[in-house]
């Protein structure tokens, strides 16, 4: 969820239905996860100006810092895992994984 909000770009906010769509989880699950993230100070619930019934879930400064830290660690781990491959081998691996993913219908 935090990554989905970060990918949304400034102001790093989405409605619960947008979050459900981008994370492929149910609206009930979105609610439960947002509750936990809000309690941890990582997101806030904001009212949408033009429609007070609609809420937007937004990253807090702490939430954005956490997701940026996790993404940086993720990229460093990917680099570590691929370090033994040459540039050509990485390209081949990318093509093979893309082909495999398509064959699975993903």
State the CATH class of domain 2-103.
mainly alpha
> Per-residue pLDDT tens for 8-65?
999 999 999 899 998 888 888 898 999 999 999 999 998 877 766 778 999 999 999 9
pLDDT of residue 78: 94
Spatial separation of the C-alpha atoms in residues 14 and 25, rounded to whole Å: 14
Spatial separation of the C-alpha atoms in residues 31 and 10, rounded to whole Å: 22
Region label for 85, one of left (φ > 0), alpha (ψ between -120 and 50) or beta (otherwise): beta
Number of Cβ within a 10 Å radius of residue 19: 24
Rounded alpha-carbon distances, angstroms, from residue 43 to 5, 55, 77, 105: 9, 12, 26, 34
Spatial separation of the C-alpha atoms in residues 73 and 3, rounded to whole Å: 13
> Per-residue pLDDT tens for 18-28?
999 988 888 88
Domain ranges of the chain: 2-103
């Amino acid at each position: 969820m935090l990554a989905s909000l970060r990918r949304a770009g400034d102001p790093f906010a989405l409605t619960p239905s947008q979050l459900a769509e981008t994370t492929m989880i149910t609206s009930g699950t979105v609610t439960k996860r947002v509750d936990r993230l809000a309690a941890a100070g990582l997101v806030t619930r904001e009212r949408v100006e033009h429609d007070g019934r609609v809420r937007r879930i937004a990253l807090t400064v702490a939430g954005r810092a956490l997701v940026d830290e996790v993404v940086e660690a993720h990229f460093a781990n990917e680099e570590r895992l691929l370090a033994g491959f040459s540039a050509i081998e990485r390209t081949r691996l990318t093509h093979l994984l893309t082909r495999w993913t398509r064959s699975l219908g993903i």
